Structure 1
Amino acid sequence: MLYHKILVALNGEVAEKSVIDEAVRIAYALEGELEAIHVNDPHAGKASMMMDTLPKLDVEDVRKIFADNGYEALAKRIPVQILEGENYAETIAKATRRADLLIIGHHPKNALHAFLVDATDERVADLVDCPVLLVPVK
């Protein structure tokens, strides 16, 4: 099988439907095993001056994201890994060691933003050993 273990990395944003749709479509088409991962910042949920911290999620939150996007049956049985780390890219990369494919959302940026900010999805792609599918998130 081309891709047996497929990981989809979710960050908990509302606009991830395209990422979930693509992950489910590929997993079903290839009869692969789909697993969801989310990385919690150790400081998530605490008062902070940092505005870019992702929401702190647990397994049920991730399952709810799948259910809310029309995948109720899958939401009940999908394996979910909740990881913790300050460096999202490195944490996701470690989780992909046994994966055949990683699917992650990509937020298109304008040229100035791209110059100033190194996106997590790009850092992940630099660190992992498996193929990475970047799905545009709008």
Structure 2
Amino acid sequence: MKNILVAINKEQNAGLLVGKAEEIAGAFNSKIWILHVSEPDPDDYLGLEAGPQFAHEKRLKNRKREGELVKNLTESLRERNFNAEGMQLQGSTAKLIKEQIRKLNADLLIAGHHKKNFFYQMFVGSMEQDIIEDLSIPVLLVPVRH
């Protein structure tokens, strides 16, 4: 197991997911890749950003905070002698995670699992299910807080 991809979403759960990656990477001397996927900017049909200025500023502020989180987690791993890289991408979460798995030749995906009730999953669907469909590698879903 050479490459572990950790897909993080919320700051409150990131440490737990990275901790699981540390346990496994320590046993197999694996590289840890930390990935955060940010929502893309909504564009109107002219290619101009849609929405009021405050919404644009909020997205920029969130992206900066998310980028700092990825950077801090990566640096913390390196300080403890783990081989680690971090990245922040924008777009469809499931699609980008699948692309990175192929690109990085990942051997394991670690992601958070948010417990949802039956009706939520029936009408909204499950991000976890979208991600793990068509994957040929093991997935470790870690129960996390909402």
Q: Does 1:13 align with 2:11?
A: yes
RMSD between aligned residues: 2.8
Return the match for 1:81 from 87, 111, 129: 87
Shifted more, 70-79 versus 27-36: the winner is 70-79
Higher helix share: 2
Cα distance, 1:39 vs structure 2 = 1.0
**Equivalent residues of 1:64, 1:75 under 8 A apart:** no
The size of the alignment, in residue pairs, is 126
What's the TM-score, normalizing by structure 2?
0.72
Return the match for 2:36 from 35, 38, 54: 38
Q: Residues of 1 paired with 2:129 and 2:87: CA distance?
A: 21
**Equivalent residues of 1:6, 1:32 under 8 A apart:** yes
Q: Percent identity?
A: 31
Cα distance, 1:72 vs structure 2 = 7.4
Q: Does 1:126 align with 2:133?
A: yes
- Structure showing greater radius of gyration is 2
Q: Residues of 2 paired with 1:95 and 1:24: CA distance?
A: 19
- The correspondence of residues 1-138 of structure 1 with structure 2, limited to 5 A, is 3-43=1-41, 47=55, 55-56=62-63, 57-58=66-67, 60-65=68-73, 73-74=79-80, 78-85=84-91, 87-97=92-102, 98-138=105-145
What's the TM-score, normalizing by structure 1?
0.76
